[in-house]
A and B are shown apart, each in its own frame.
Chain A
C-alpha cells in the first residue's frame, strides 16, 4: 500500500504523542502512589495537623491561596527573581567564558577559581548579600546571579576549550575572521556546555532562591513557607513545597530539556542519558 509522506509523518507524530503520554504517566504514577499513601496514613494514625496536614486540608489551602490571589503573587515574585537573576548571570557569563576560553593561559589560570565558586552553593552568598544589598530584591538577585554565573562561565570556558583545533582551522581556511570565528564556531560549539551550565545553574538558583526568600524578603514562595511555620500552618507549608517542586519540574521539562533536544542533540554533540 502506498502511504503519502504526510500521512506517514502524521502517524509518526501520533506515535510520538502516545509515547510522551505513556512517559508522562510513568513519571506521575510514583507521585500518585505517594499521595495515596499520604491520604491513608494521616487519618489512620490520626496525625496532629500541626505536625503534618491531611491531603484535604492542603487542597483547601490551595483553593484558598488561589482564590485570594496570594499564591499567584508569591509564584510571580519568585519567577521574576529567578528569571531576572538567571538572565543577568547568563548575559555576563557567556561572553566572559568565551573570552577566557580563547586564551589557553587565561583559561588555565581561571578554571580552578571558577570551579571553586561554581560548587559554592547559592545559599552561602546570602549573609554577605544582605550586608551589601540589604533585605530585598537586590540581595536575592545577587544570590541567583552568583548561582548561575559561575556555573555557566565555567561550562562555557570548558565548552570553548574542547572545540577541536581542526574545526577552528577549517573556519579560518574558509575565510572566517575573528568575529565570524566567535559567532559561527566558538558560540555554537560551546552551546552544549552552556545549556548544561544553565540547567545546573538554574537548579542551584532555584534552591538558593527559596532559601534567600525565607530570610531576605516579604513575598515569594520561600517567604510563604517560612511565614506559615510561625502559625503552625503545616498545610500551607506542604502546599508551598509541592508548588516549588512542580514548578521546577515544569521549568526543567518544558523549557530546558526541549531546548537541549532542539539544538545540540540533533547536532550529535551530546546524547541524552
Chain B
C-alpha cells in the first residue's frame, strides 16, 4: 500500500540575486510503501531538503502533487512527523512534555499522554531524562528526543532532514543503529534525507539518488537486519552498494 506519493513534483522560485526564476525541483515522482525506509541522498543543492520541506508542508510546491494516504498535502499536519537537523525541541518544555506535545495537540488527557511519552522515551533509552530540559542534554540525547517526539504522534510518514549531521561521529553511529532498531520494532514509513552515502545505505530499504532536482536512480538495499556497524563495515554487499551509490552521487 502506498503511503506517500510524489507525482511530477516541481518547485520554482524567484531568486532575487540572480534576478530570475530558479528551478530547485524539476520533475520528481516517487512512491513510498507503508513501512518502507527510504533514504534520499545527493550533493548539496540537489533539492533534497526542498522536497522534504514540501512534503512537510512548510513550503508550497509549484507543480505536481504530494499525496499522503491519498490526501493532497496543503500545509503542515500531524500525519507527517518531522525530525530536524537542529533538533527544534521546545526549550521551555521538559523532555516528557516535548514528547507528549503531539498527543496534547490531539486532546489526549494528561495521564494518557504522559504514559505514551514515557513508553517512547523508554524505546529510546531516555527514561531517566524525562524531567530534564533539552538544554541539559547532550546533542545525541536531544536528537533521540526529537525522533521519539515525532514518533509518539503516530504519523503516517516520518520525515528526517539530516537529523544526525550535527552530532559527533561516534554518537552518530549509535544513533543510526538505534534508529534501525526502532524502525524494526515499530515499522514507521520513513523518508531520510542525507548527504552521507554510508548512512543512506546503512539505514534504508531503498536509496534514492537525487541530482539537480531530478531522481537519478534508485537502489534496493537487501541487507539483513538488525544492522550493526561492526558487522556491516566488513560486509561485501554493504561495501558494493555504498560504492555504487557513491559513484552516482559523485557523478551527479
Could you jot down 8 A-B contacts, CB within 8 Å? Answer: A169-B56, A169-B88, A170-B82, A173-B150, A175-B77, A176-B101, A188-B92, A267-B135
Docked CA distance A269–B136 (Å)? 11
**Residues 150-183 of A at the B interface (beta carbon under 8 Å):** 164, 166-167, 169-177, 180
Q: Contacts A166-B84, A169-B82, A175-B78 given; indicate if A185 touches B90 (C-beta within 8 A).
A: yes
From B82, B92, B153, give the contact of A189 (CB < 8 A).
B92
Contact between chains at B106 and A175 (CB < 8 Å): yes
A174 CA / B101 CA spacing, docked (Å): 7
Cβ–Cβ contact A174 & B84, under 8 A = no
Nearest CB of B to A162, in Å: 12
Question: In the assembly, what is the distance between CA of A170 and CA of B57, in Å?
Answer: 11
A180 to B106 alpha-carbon distance, docked (Å) = 11
- Number of residues from B at the complex interface, CB < 8 A: 29
A239 to B134, CA, bound (A): 48
Tell me which residues across on chain B come within 8 A of A166, comparing CB atoms.
84, 86, 88
Q: Tell me the bound Cα distance from A20 to B80 in angstroms.
A: 49
Q: Which of B78, B86, B133 meets A174, CB within 8 Å?
A: B78
Q: Whole-angstrom distance between the alpha carbons of A266 and B91 in the complex?
A: 9
Q: A-B pairs with CB below 8 Å: how many?
A: 76
| Residue positions of B touching A, CB distance < 8 A | 56-58, 75-78, 80-82, 84, 86, 88-93, 101-102, 105-106, 133-136, 149-150, 153
Q: Find the residue from A171, A189, A191, A267 having the highest chain B CB count within 10 A.
A: A267
Instruction: Pick from A175, A185, A188: contact of B153, CB below 8 A.
Output: A175
The reply to whether B90 and A173 contact each other, CB–CB distance below 8 Å, is no
Chain B facing A: main interface SS: loop
Residue pair A169, B58 in contact (C-beta under 8 Å): yes
Q: Are A184 and B90 in contact (CB under 8 A)?
A: yes
In the complex, what residues of B have CB within 8 A of residue A69's CB? none
Given contact pairs A180-B105, A267-B133, A267-B135, A173 touches B91 in the complex (Cβ within 8 A): no
Interface positions, chain A 203-259, Cβ under 8 Å from B, are none
Count chain A CB atoms within 10 A of each CB in B58, B89, B136 and give the residue with the most.
B58
CA A264 to CA B88, docked complex, whole Å? 17
CB neighbours (8 Å) of A174 from chain B are: 78, 81, 101-102, 105, 149-150, 153
Q: Does A6 contact B (CB under 8 A)?
A: no
